């Protein structure tokens, strides 16, 4: 038999089912009391000590449940929820960033390249997993300089690149953009 005091404590705390911080305090406090109870009879066997604790301190199940009731079951429930909150917020943030960088990204339109469909000052979301585009799709693409541009798909070239059309003053300009330079298709205009 392992340490009878530990066994008794485990039994009480299992029935008390407290929030982590409370459990730590109660464990330390009861441990102090139980060790004080054992000290007069050092020569007792573990089984004898366990029986003595049950007689002197009480049935662990009843003590545990009484402690749970005294601490308030609702309070314990909320304390446990609160305890897990930072972890859940962390996971939510990581997921949000994962979505932000892998699936959808927000852009702010600072020109009239695709007006009037998407006018200057719009805030758009781009679907980054899009693999193929149709004529008329609005896409965001990256120039060799690293700058982002917005344009409208005309068609795909035989080599797999994309012809993208932009307004340039009163005329239109057409650029050939390599497939890998296209960030994604605009799927949401929040303006």
Partner 1 sequence: METKSQFLKGCARTLVLQLLAERSMYGYELAADLDRRSAGIFALGQGTLYPLLYSLETKGQIRVAREEISADQGRKRRYYALTPRGRMELESSISTWKEIVRGMRLVLESAAT
HSE-CB of 10 using CA atoms within 13 angstroms = 7
The CA R_g of the chain, rounded to the nearest whole Å, is 34
Per CB under 8 A, contacts with partner 1 among 62-81 are: 62-63, 66-67, 69-72, 75
Six-digit token string for 138:
């609005």
Minimal distance, residue 63 CB to partner 1, in Å: 4
Q: Using CB under 8 A, which of 27, 38, 80, 179 touches partner 1?
A: 27
Question: Does residue number 23 form part of the binding site for partner 1 (CB under 8 A)?
Answer: no
Measured from the Cβ of residue 171, the count of other Cβ atoms closer than 10 Å reads 7
Instruction: Fill in the per-residue mask, 80 to 109: x = in contact with partner 1 (CB under 8 A), - = not in contact.
Output: ------------------------------
Q: Using CB under 8 A, which of 20, 41, 46, 58 touches partner 1?
A: 58
Beta strand pairing call for 138-142 and 162-168? unpaired
- Phi/psi region, residue 151 (left: phi>0; alpha: psi -120 to 50; beta: rest), is beta
Minimal distance, residue 184 CB to partner 1, in Å: 55
Question: Does residue number 119 form part of the binding site for partner 1 (CB under 8 A)?
Answer: no
Question: Does residue number 33 form part of the binding site for partner 1 (CB under 8 A)?
Answer: yes
The count of residues interacting with partner 1 (CB under 8 A) is 26
**116 upstream amide cis, omega within 30 of 0:** yes
Six-digit token string for 106:
């927000």
Which strand (E) or helix (H) includes residue 69? helix 60-71
Nearer CB in complex with partner 1: 75/123: 75
By the criterion CB under 8 A, which residues form the site for partner 1?
Answer: 12, 25-33, 35-37, 56-58, 60, 62-63, 66-67, 69-72, 75
């Amino acid at each position: 038999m392992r340490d009878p005091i530990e066994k008794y404590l485990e039994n009480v705390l299992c029935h008390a089912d407290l929030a982590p911080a409370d459990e730590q305090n109660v464990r330390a406090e009861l441990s102090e009391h139980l060790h004080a109870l054992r000290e007069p009879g050092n020569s007792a066997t573990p089984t004898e000590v366990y029986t003595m604790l049950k007689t002197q301190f009480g049935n662990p199940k009843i003590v545990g449940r009484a402690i749970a009731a005294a601490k308030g079951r609702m309070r314990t429930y909320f304390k446990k929820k609160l305890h897990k909150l930072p972890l859940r917020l962390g996971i939510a943030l990581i997921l949000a960033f994962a979505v932000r960088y892998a699936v959808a990204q927000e852009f702010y339109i600072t020109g009239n390249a695709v007006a009037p469909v998407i006018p200057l000052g719009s805030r758009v979301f781009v679907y980054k997993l899009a693999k193929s585009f149709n004529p008329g799709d609005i896409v965001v693409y990256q120039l060799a300089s690293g700058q982002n541009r917005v344009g409208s798909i005309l068609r795909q070239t035989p080599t797999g690149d994309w012809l993208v059309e932009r307004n340039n003053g009163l005329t239109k300009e057409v650029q050939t953009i390599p497939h890998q330079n296209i960030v994604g298709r605009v799927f949401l205009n929040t303006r």
